[in-house]
Amino acid sequence: MSVRVRMAPSPTGLIHIGNVRTALFNWLFARHHGGEFRLRIENTDTSREVAEAAAHIQESLRWLGLDWDGPVTFQLDRMADCAEVARRLVDEGKAYEDEGAIRFRMPDEGATAWDDVVRGHVEFPNEKLEDLVLVRSDGRPTYNFASPMEDVWDGITHVIRGEDHISNTPKQINIIHAVGAELPVYAHVSHVLGADGKQLSKRHGSVNIDDFRRDGYHPSALMNFLALLGWSYDDKTTIMSRDELVERFTLERVVPSPAAFDYQKLDWMNGVYLRALPPEEYADELVRFLREQGYDWDEELVRRAAPLVQDKIERFGQFAEFAGFLFREIEPDPALLDGDTPVVAAARDELERVEPFRAAEIEAALRGLAERLELSPRKAFQPIRIAVTGSKVSPGLFESLELLGKEESLRRLSAAAATSAA
């Protein structure tokens, strides 16, 4: 079967993750069938903002790994074609002029129905359908006219879109019938909701694809996660590569019930993907992420720190908090060091003698110190960790000290010993 689908975003700013999920379903469906995935911008004006939003949409899709076929098309480029069809419909008595606009005559009796791949048989009584404006008095076509016409002109075989468009579908079907074209198959996918059952919005966390990128999610993990919002392969397989998703995706396994967006599951999944990356690639991506986010941290040091964090953080966005002490000044909370000043001072003196200043030698020295002080390693190392990293949670202490370097480590230990003693 040769299929052709499309994503038809309105260029109104950031792309909501729910729409990205719908785009992904379209893309998976197209790739699964060896068909085409088109990108069509549903613009109602042609301002600079539209151009920027269109560029942003493309950049976001590319980042996620969704490639499209053919050129990006713009709805307003077909204004004249729409006007021509509208005039023809007037000539045929299927539409009429009304205060400068052109309205479509919806049938008054019977019902408009379709077999939705996701929702089954859907039927609307025609008496509920108002006569639809096709072309406004200023000459611009409406969404409900231009969209189905573009589906016809582009040879779209399957319209896979959000359930918010279900009420538009009977109108669009009547227009497609009126122009004598063949109907596409419709598949209306459910909304993506937050854990509280409400439409996913800012208050749940990240909602725009940019937010997820900024938080340091890996595009492959996000793709995997989004694919499982309302679709499943066999109810138990969670981790699937891009190729596996393409191979396994079918619309028949898309469910009509709303999908709940579980941020914890996404974090877990992202961690799985990040840990599975070859170390070199992990470092490359971490460097790229930090650069993209505007950090000017020493690349060499980031690369050396990468193996220390790969198993520990679930998102690249956590790197700054977790390992930022390597790149910037810290201010340990004196309360956290209360009573531990002697250990910090002793560690400083001990480490001053360590040469070379490498993790193994550092570890031996600090373990020796703990023994002499008759402290458990945990008890002895925690204040040292706080003194050099500013936090109770950090990458491995000995490796961290090595990366920080002897001079800076000693300086931080001295400072911590002095502050908390005061």
Closest residue to ligand GLU using C-beta atoms: 161
Residue whose CB is less far from ligand GLU, 10 or 414: 10
**Least distance (Å) between residue 12 CB and ligand GLU:** 8
DSSP 236: S
Structure tokens at 56: 């942003």
- Give the whole-angstrom CA distance, residue 162 versus residue 18: 8
- Give the whole-angstrom CA distance, residue 324 versus residue 224: 29
Task: Outline where 278-337 has alpha helix (H).
Answer: 279-292, 299-309, 319-323
What is each CA distance from 356 to 42, 98, 352, 360, 384, in whole angstroms?
63, 87, 10, 9, 19
Radius of gyration of the chain measured on its C-alpha atoms? 29
405: left (phi over 0), alpha (psi -120 to 50) or beta: left
**Least distance (Å) between residue 151 CB and ligand GLU:** 8
- Give the whole-angstrom CA distance, residue 146 versus residue 42: 9
The site map against ligand GLU for 268-287 (x = CB under 6 A) is --------------------
Q: 160 near 7, Cβ under 8 Å?
A: no
Contacts of ligand GLU in 144-163 (CB under 6 A): 147, 161-162
Q: 406 near 354, Cβ under 8 Å?
A: yes
**Least distance (Å) between residue 185 CB and ligand GLU:** 13
Residues in Cβ contact with 400 at an 8 Å cutoff, skipping those fewer than 6 apart: 308, 325, 326, 385, 388, 389, 394
**Least distance (Å) between residue 192 CB and ligand GLU:** 13
Of 36, 42, 116, 402, which one interacts with ligand GLU (CB under 6 A)? Answer: 42
Contacts of ligand GLU in 156-195 (CB under 6 A): 161-162, 165
Residue whose CB is less far from ligand GLU, 10 or 318: 10
Residue whose CB is less far from ligand GLU, 191 or 412: 191
Contacts of ligand GLU in 2-31 (CB under 6 A): 8-10
Nearest residue to 218 (alpha-carbon basis) of 201, 250, 242:
242
**Least distance (Å) between residue 166 CB and ligand GLU:** 11
User: Taking CB under 6 A as the rule, does residue 38 contact ligand GLU?
Assistant: no
Start-to-end C-alpha separation, the chain = 78
Residue whose CB is less far from ligand GLU, 10 or 73: 10
The residue count for binding ligand GLU (CB under 6 A) is 8
Q: 239 near 224, Cβ under 8 Å?
A: yes
**Least distance (Å) between residue 96 CB and ligand GLU:** 25
Residue whose CB is less far from ligand GLU, 78 or 161: 161
- Residue 137: count other Cβ atoms within 10 Å of its Cβ: 12
Residues in Cβ contact with 216 at an 8 Å cutoff, skipping those fewer than 6 apart: 289, 315, 316, 317, 318, 319
Residue whose CB is less far from ligand GLU, 150 or 340: 150
Beta bridge partners of 192: 259
Q: Which residues are catalytic?
A: 202
Residue whose CB is less far from ligand GLU, 15 or 354: 15
**Least distance (Å) between residue 3 CB and ligand GLU:** 16
**Residues of the shown chain interacting with ligand GLU in the complex, contacts defined by CB under 6 A:** 8-10, 42, 147, 161-162, 165
